[in-house]
Amino acid sequence: MNNAILVQNFIEQIWNQREFEKLENFLHPDFHDYGLPPIFPPNQEGTKKWILNTGASFEHNTIIEEQVTEDDKSILKIRMNLKHIGVWRNIQPTGIDLHAVGYRYFKLNDGKIIEHWALIDGQAIETQLNNVIKGCKIAE
């Protein structure tokens, strides 16, 4: 499987479908996730906990809008379609549908993801939930 397909399958099977039994198919034993909040370990277990944690606040579906993959690197521009179902940043569930855009960067080694970084527009999520305009937003 080539690196672009591997990353696409990781987003679909792990983030969207939560097929955590497949994590080892995607993540290198030395995997390090630089995109996690500091309360989670930056490893495979931390990534799983983060997906479960965000899943408690949002039903989510990640769409890859653009992807560039060269050699052992892949960067994605993503759109996350969300439904607010649980407390997030002390905001009680609203049930509204919203979205956020962001970027994910992956480094690969031996056919698996060894490093991950993420930049997601959390301010846009909060703004939509509060129905107010504040802060800055990543252009779509």
In a domain, 140, yes or no: no
The pLDDT, as a whole number, for residue 127 is 86
Residue 111's domain comprises: 3-130
Q: How far is CA 14 from CA 8, 52, 92, 112, in A?
A: 10, 11, 26, 14
For residue 82, the domain's CATH number is 3.10.450.50
User: How confident is the model over 94-122, as pLDDT tens digits?
Assistant: 899 999 999 999 999 999 999 999 999 88
Q: Which residues contact 94 (CB under 8 A, 6 or more apart)?
A: 84, 129
Q: What is the pTM of this model?
A: 0.87
In a domain, 38, yes or no: yes
